Amino acid sequence: MIIEIVTFETAGDISTETVIACAEESLVFLNTCPGYLGRKLLKGEGAHWIDYVQWATLGKALAAAKEFNFSPHTEKFNQCIKPGTVTMKHLEVALSD
């Protein structure tokens, strides 16, 4: 299993409720992606967020990442993100209980 960790900051004065609603809409896209296993959206202090996504394989995660910005279901979520603040890492699960 692969864990995708995306960190970002929200743009402007976007509310927590708006980010969550837009993230929920982006699930329409994610649920169509082969290998998608689940997601947790984590709120930090201020405008800081972490998107924690589980994938079956690295290949599936990378394929979905290439398409994420082009889906109409992810457009509003992407608009919530402050440009230049996104980092993305993919890590293989070594131990899980």
Per-domain boundaries in the chain: 2-92
Task: Measure the CA–CA gap between 39 and 56, rounded to whole angstroms.
Answer: 12
The CATH code of domain 2-92 reads: 3.30.70.100
Backbone angles phi, psi at 14, to 5 degrees: -75, 130
> What was the pLDDT predicted at 93?
97
Confidence band, pLDDT 50/70/90 cuts, at residue 10: very high
> What was the pLDDT predicted at 47?
96
pLDDT in tens, 11-46: 989 999 999 999 999 999 999 999 999 999 999 999
pLDDT in tens, 41-88: 999 999 999 999 999 999 999 999 999 999 999 999 999 999 999 999
Alpha-carbon Rg for the chain in angstroms: 13
